[in-house]
Amino acid sequence: MKLTSEFSIRVATAEDAPTLAALNLACWRETYEGLLPAETFAALTLEERLDHWRGVFQTSGARVALVLDPGGEAVGFTQWRAHEFVLGGRLGRGGEICAIYLRRSAQRRGLGRRLMRLMAQEMRASGCKWASLVVLRENLPARRFYEAMGGRRFGRELSWRGVPEVAYGWRDVGRLADHQ
């Protein structure tokens, strides 16, 4: 088994949009097969993902990281952004985790924990007090991971492309940044 330290993480740039689009699609196919209706799954295209990632880099405040294996191949990515939101009755600056994905070949090596901590450290450094994300309700492995990282379910159920989602949050981004 490869150790986490053999993988590198770097800031992604607009030039990485094609790599991110292909990686995004590959991760979705591995992660969501059986969780999305066939017609939704069929609509996931490289062109749509490329448009998405180009848009992400045109938006100020997008923070995207790319995970590379020891051979330099992209095997994962993260994206988060700061925003104001009511959480637990309080208004304040928080971090929305928009994406955290790893190819199956890179999972179960501590990278997910490392990525969550790195995002939380960036959030804390930028003045965010809390963090949140949404996940497909039936994506039980991801939900167990977020719970193991201290995330707590909150709010009402949402929907993505007609599939139920649930929200998770961390009231103290500093605790997530320091999570072991």
Every domain of the chain and the residues it spans: 4-177
Q: Would you state the pLDDT for residue 88?
A: 56
CA angle, corner 18, sides to 16 and 8, nearest 5?
A: 40
Name the CATH topology of 4-177.
Aminopeptidase (3.40.630)
Backbone phi, psi, residue 145, to 5°? -60, -50
Distance CA 161, CA 24 (A): 16
Q: Would you state the pLDDT for residue 115?
A: 96
Residue type, 90: R
Q: Would you state the pLDDT for residue 61?
A: 78
The CA–CA distances, whole Å, from 98 to 20, 24, 55, 116 equal 14, 12, 14, 12
- Write out pLDDT tens, residues 112-128: 999 999 999 999 999 99
- Write out pLDDT tens, residues 120-153: 999 999 999 999 999 999 999 999 999 999 999 9
Q: What is the pTM of this model?
A: 0.90
